[in-house]
Amino acid sequence: MKLLVAGATGVAGSAFMSLVHEAMPDTVVRGTYLTNPPEATGPNTEYVKADLTDREGCLMAARGCDAAVLLAAVTGGAKSTMDAPYRQTTNNLVMDALLLQALYEQGVKKVIYVSTATIYQEFDGAIHEDDLDLNLDPHGTYFGVGWAKRSAEKLCQFWRDVMGMDIKVLRAANIYGPRAAFDPDRSNFIPALIRKAVDKMDPFEVWGSPHVTRDVIYASDFARGVLAVLNAKTDEQTFNIASGETVTVGEVVDFALKAAGHKPGEVKYIGDAPQTIQHRRLDISRIQAETGWKPCVTPEEGIRKTSEWWNANKKTWKK
């Protein structure tokens, strides 16, 4: 099998590439990237620079591959989501539509498409895959990207049901870990807090409330889940992939400060800073039942590992 990994050098892609090298050493892997340079490669690995918002870039990436894992996405934290939500909307729509068609045209039959939990409407409790209600909008903060990803999931259904491709959809919680985006204008909340802790910010400023809850997943756990679905024999087509548990922003702050050895004089929660949905937890019973996968890394351990990576790479990592 020749496997395409679109978006191979970010937080999710690099973790998945490392896992494939370890678990499937005979698999030939082509990873795409646009801005972040690849890490060291194995003998069966090639990286290609490809603009996946361009038709020719998509066709070039897909050519000669048998299967694909689509991890490439335009992402951002609360600040970028509030300041320029169109960046995650238009670029994701274009990229997903062009890439899915290119895969079909190049004869790629098996595809894992990674979607996002932002497609869900507001919901009390753990939301199951079948709880998605397309008659209700995503949370207002995610209106653009949420509908873009809902549209991409419908395109996956079209290519699967009408055109005969084997496509599975994974709806991912907030993924964090080494090689995440640490740029303050683009980072999600965990890398943002880790950066502030490592930089010894004092007073330590946090956007929003300490009581906001999130379902987060460490990159290596996410990678194992993707591989489990790729190799699974299942008729299910859509899976949540997350920890299935919640962590509060206040707990993440404590874990980040502990990992950095930082004891600020004041932790200051800023109520009028950019905020998103207040509570989210995903039901992961389907992926567990169908594949046997389960997450292993706790938020405290994952934040410690991510903090160690950032401390060692902050002078060279540009994302």
The token pair at 214 is 């999130």
> What pLDDT is attached to residue 40?
61
> What pLDDT is attached to residue 187?
86
Q: Which is nearest to 114 in space by CA: 142, 149, 147?
A: 149
Instruction: Decide the pairing of beta strands 216-218 and 126-127.
Output: unpaired
> What pLDDT is attached to residue 83?
66
> What pLDDT is attached to residue 273?
52
d(C-alpha 141, C-alpha 265), whole Å: 32
Q: Residue 84: which pLDDT band, with cuts at 50, 70 and 90?
A: low
The full 3-state SS of 191-237, as one line of letters, equals HHHHHHHHCCCCCEEEECCCCCEECEEEHHHHHHHHHHHHHCCCCCC
**Residue in this structure with the two tokens 């943002």, named with its chain if needed:** 192
Mean pLDDT of the chain: 92
What would the pLDDT profile of 48-81 be if each residue is shown by its tens digit?
A: 999 999 999 999 999 999 999 999 987 665 555 5
The token pair at 66 is 């048998």
d(C-alpha 51, C-alpha 54), whole Å: 6
15 or 277, which is more confident: 15
Q: Is the dihedral of CA 214, 112, 44, 48 positive or negative?
A: negative
The CB density around residue 58, as the number of other CB atoms within 10 Å, is 27
Q: Which of 11-25, 50-64, 271-285 is predicted with the least confidence, judged by mean pLDDT?
A: 271-285
The token pair at 93 is 């729509």
Q: Is the pLDDT of residue 316 over 90?
A: no
Q: Is the pLDDT of residue 2 over 80?
A: yes
d(C-alpha 96, C-alpha 74), whole Å: 11
What would the pLDDT profile of 94-152 be if each residue is shown by its tens digit?
A: 999 999 999 999 999 999 999 999 999 998 889 999 999 999 999 888 899 999 999 99
Instruction: Decide the pairing of beta strands 204-207 and 166-172.
Output: unpaired
Q: Which is nearest to 235 in space by CA: 283, 291, 282, 285?
A: 291
**Residue in this structure with the two tokens 């489990």, named with its chain if needed:** 228
Q: Under CATH, what is the fold of the domain 2-313?
A: Rossmann fold (3.40.50)
Prediction pTM value: 0.94
**Residue in this structure with the two tokens 């409330």, named with its chain if needed:** 209
For residue 218, the number of C-alpha atoms closer than 13 Å in the C-beta half-sphere is 17
Cis peptide before 85 (omega within 30 of 0): no
State the burial class of residue 35 (Cβ atoms within 10 Å of its Cβ: 0-12, 13-18, 19+).
exposed
d(C-alpha 173, C-alpha 217), whole Å: 6
- Kindly list the distances between the CA atom of residue 21 and the CA atoms of 29, 89, 153, in Å, as whole numbers in the listed order: 9, 32, 28
Q: Report which listed range, 21-30, 163-172, 208-217, is most confident.
A: 163-172
Say which residues have a Cβ less than 8 Å from residue 130's Cβ, sequence separation at least 6: none
Give the phi and the psi of residue 259 in degrees, each rounded to 5.
-65, -35
> What pLDDT is attached to residue 74?
78
d(C-alpha 284, C-alpha 287), whole Å: 6
**Residue in this structure with the two tokens 């903060």, named with its chain if needed:** 141
DSSP 116-176: EGGGSPP-SSEEPGGG--TTSPPPGGGHHHHHHHHHHHHHHHHHHHTT--EEEEEEE-EEE
